[in-house]
């Protein structure tokens, strides 16, 4: 008897529960869209900041290399790396 009762409940209330779930999703789609939008905006900002930092670091290194070449710097940056790799 409990199987018949469960079956009748599911058949009776099943479509109503499905419609209620669809209504909740349909009424709250702006919320889901807003959350998704904020995720996309956050990801874009994160990638933009990372790209900016990499570009700024590259530019800083190039600027430093250019100024040390023009000044005739006595600090041998490439020589230090070569010497340490040779000495082990």
Domain-wise residue ranges, the chain: 2-87
Rounded to whole angstroms, the Cα distance separating 26 from 59 reads 50
Per-residue pLDDT tens for 47-85? 999 999 999 999 998 888 877 666 655 555 555 555 555
State the DSSP code for 75.
-
In the chain, what is the greatest distance between 2 CA atoms, to the nearest angstrom?
A: 96
Indicate left, alpha or beta for 79 from its phi (over 0: left) and psi (-120 to 50: alpha): alpha
Q: Is the pTM of this model over 0.85?
A: no
Question: Is 15 within 8 Å of 23 (Cβ atoms)?
Answer: no
State the DSSP code for 34.
H
């Amino acid at each position: 008897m409990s199987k018949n009762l469960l079956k009748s409940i599911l058949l009776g209330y099943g479509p109503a529960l499905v419609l209620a779930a669809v209504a909740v999703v349909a009424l709250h789609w702006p919320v889901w869209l807003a959350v998704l939008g904020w995720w996309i905006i956050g990801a874009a900002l994160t990638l933009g900041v990372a790209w900016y930092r990499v570009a700024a670091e590259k530019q800083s290194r190039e600027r430093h290399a250019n100024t040390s070449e023009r000044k005739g710097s006595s600090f041998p940056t490439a020589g230090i790396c070569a010497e340490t790799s040779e000495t082990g």
